[in-house]
Amino acid sequence: MKISWFDRLYVGEKAKKKRYRIIRGIRKSIPRPDIYVIIPASNGNNILDIYPTAELFAPFFRKEEILILGIAAGYWEALEVAGHVIHDMYRITDGFDLSAFLEEGSR
């Protein structure tokens, strides 16, 4: 599995306190069920997916390339972080164009 990080990584308030420990844990494949990641959706019907880090290391993801847009401590915080991503995406692209938003974020 190849993990890449969004240039402007979104981080929840509770996750900010342990941001570097969370990132190091994900890089070292240490699953933590209380930590969630926000990634682009794996299907065409949604914009984002929210997964606990424990699921990232499941066989399904082993051959995938994953772009992490945000991290959060807890599911409710993950919903808030995903809301911030969607809000910024709409503001920047005047719609829900994830590709344009990701290009803008990498500048």
pLDDT digits (tens, 9 = 90+) for 13-71: 999 999 999 999 999 988 888 999 999 998 878 999 999 998 888 887 778 889 999 99
DSSP H or E segment with residue 72: strand 65-73
SS3 60: helix
68 Cβ neighbours under 8 A, 6+ residues apart: 3, 4, 5, 6, 9, 26, 37, 38, 39
Alpha-carbon distance of 65 to 52, in angstroms, equals 17
The pTM assigned to this predicted structure is 0.91
